[in-house]
Amino acid sequence: MTKVIVVGALGRMGRAVIAGLARDDDVDLAGGVAPRAIEEYLPLPDGGGLIPIARDLETLISRVRPRVMVDFTRPDVAMDNVRTALRLGVSPVVGTSGISPENLDEIARLADEAELGAVVAPNFAIGANLMLHFARVAARYLEAAEIIEMHHDGKLDAPSGTAMSTARAMVGARGRAFSEPPTSTVILQGARGGVEGGVRVHSVRLPGLVAHQEVIFGGPGQVLTIRHDSLARDSFIPGVALAVKAVVKRTGLVYGLDGLMGLDA
């Protein structure tokens, strides 16, 4: 069994991860970290017992000696947690949105130096990673594309990490920027969204949404739409479990869950 701790344990995603991993027979859920924790133990769902909870990551690592840390916090906090985890011999699995290319370079370097595996994924939903894979394939054949990503109103960053990763993967698979039809008159600033490699990216934030994305390709006389919807946070749990079990068998950084799914465009 893989001994795991979860950072951000009292957040919405952290609670979902704890509930999901607690049901996995191949995972030993050993504790959680939350700066605002007021108790020493966190009850698991469905009367599954108690796990230690601490305000400080290093304290919990010293106490329970985990093999993997799962982090769903904020980019600045996540990077501090990754540095601490790798320094103490713990492999990080990071689902925090907004990890920059510079952050990824640092994680890769630290993982190599520690001779440990690390996983950073913009999206842990299996279907979302299939969407990204299909978008890479389609990018080779169609000249124009736009992305609409839709998330709950509590999401702080825009565009989402998934949308940015998708756009960059599409441009990479294509080998050049997409054609971007000109808009001669913009009546409302920002109406055409942001641009990444010729791909227009639009963000929607509304209560009631969870995580949704459409990739729309256009060509002469045709439109191709690839869409994924996460309707609840438990959609991410199988991907988190996959990453937790895979990271202990690897050395260095794996970026994207598709890197663990054997998907090659």
Active-site amino acid positions:
151, 155
Angle CA(52)–CA(53)–CA(58) in degrees, nearest 5? 105
120, 118, 122: which is closest to 250 by C-alpha? 118
- Residue carrying structure tokens 């329970």: 64
CA distance 107 to 93: 11
Residue 37's contacts (CB-CB under 8 Å, 6 or more residues apart) are 9, 10, 53, 54, 55
Torsion angle defined by CA atoms of residues 60, 240, 11 and 102, in that order, rounded to the nearest 10 degrees: 80
